[in-house]
Amino acid sequence: MYRNWVKSKVPLKFIILLSILALSGSIYIETSRQRVEYHDIPTQLEAARTMRLAMEAIYQARINQGVDFNLELDPNRTGLIGKEFTPTTTTLGNLEAKRTSTNPDFAALFVKYFNQLGLEKGNIIAIGGSSSFPGSILAALSAARAMELEPLFILSLGSSMYGANLPEFNFLDMLEVLNKQEIIPYQPIGVSLGGQNDTGAGFEDEEILLDIAKSSPYPLIYNEELQLTLQERFDYYQSSAASSIKTFINIGGSSANIGKTSAYLNLPTGLNRSLDPGFIQEEQGVLFEFAEMNIPTIHILNIRELAQRNGIAIDPVPLPQPGVSDVYYQVEYQTQLIILIIALILLLTIFIIKRYR
C-alpha cells in the first residue's frame, strides 16, 4: 500500500536549527547544574555524628562485656551486626543490607524526611522498629534528637539474620548503654516479641525472648491474635502522645507494623505522604492505620534501593565521614537560563509557524 506524503513547507534549515538549539540547550543546562549544600546540613551533620558516636559506644560496650564479635561480619566495628543464627533469629536476612543500614548518612536522610514534612521542635513521631535493623532505628532516633522531636517507640525484640539477634546483647542492652552515656535519651513505650504474628512464634527458643521482655522495665505487648496486637500498639501510641502524631516510621518487616497481607510488597520505600486506597486491606498493620488517618508514613525496608535513590554508599568500608555523600546536597539548575532557552525555542517556533503556515 502506498502512502501520499505531503512535503513540509518549512525549510529544512529551520528544522535543523530548532533541533540544534533544543539539543544544545539541554546539554548546556545539564552541564551547568550545581551541587549545593542542603539547606539544613548543620542538623544533618549533627544527626550523623550522633549516630556515629552511638555506634562507637555500642561497640566498646560489646567488647567490654566480652560479647562475641566477628570482624569479618562487622568490619566497621559498629557493634550492631549480630550472628547468622541465634535462638532469637526470626527469618533470613541480608548481610549487605544490615551493614549498609549502619551508615550514619541515613540519619541525615531522616533529617531530610522530617524537614519535608515540616516537623518542628517538640513534634511527636511514632516509630515501630524491628531489631532486624538496629542501624535504621539509631538513624531515626539520632535525627529525632538533632531536631528535638519526641519519638514514641515500640520495639520488636526478634531479629532476622545479622540484626540485633544476640540474646546477651540485644537492642535493649544497646539502648541502655546510649541512655547511660546520654547519647540517645529515648526509651521504648513498649516491646513485643516479634516473629510470626508478633508472638515469638518460629523462634528456636521463645522463652529467651519472653525473659528479655519481662526483665525490661517496658510494657510487653502480647496477644495471640494479631488484630488485638495491632489495636494495642495503636492505642499505646495514641495514649502516649501529648499532641498529634506527625508521622509513623516503620523499620523492618514486623507483621504488627505492615500486616500479613501482600500489600506491603508494593509499598514504596521511604517517605509516603499518602497511600493509594488500594493498599488498605484487612490485617493491614499499624502503618496502614496511620495512613488511613492521613498521617504521612516512612517505610524503611528495602535498604539497597533507599541508599541508591538518596546517594548513600552501599556496604562501604570504612564508613564515610558525615557531609560527603549526596544526601547532604541538592542539585540546582540555573532557572533564568532554562527560561531563556525555552523562550528562544518558542519564539523561533512561532516565527516559523507564522511565516510558513
Q: Which of 322, 256, 61 is nearest to 168 (CA)?
A: 61
Say which residue, 347 or 176, is predicted with more confidence: 176
Burial of 243 (0-12, 13-18, 19+ CB in 10 A): exposed
| Tens-place pLDDT, residues 39-79 | 999 999 999 999 999 999 999 999 999 999 999 999 999 99
Which pLDDT score is estimated for 280?
A: 59
Which pLDDT score is estimated for 337?
A: 66
Query: Residue ranges of the domains in the chain?
Result: 48-327
Say which residue, 264 or 225, is predicted with more confidence: 225
In total, the chain counts a number of residues equal to 357
Question: Is a pLDDT exceeding 70 seen at residue 137?
Answer: yes
The vertex-206 CA angle with 200 and 208, nearest 5°, equals 125
Distance, CA of 31 to CA of 169 (rounded, Å): 50
Contact (CB, 8 A) for 133 and 251:
yes
**Unique residue bearing C-alpha cell 560527603:** 324
Which pLDDT score is estimated for 319?
A: 97
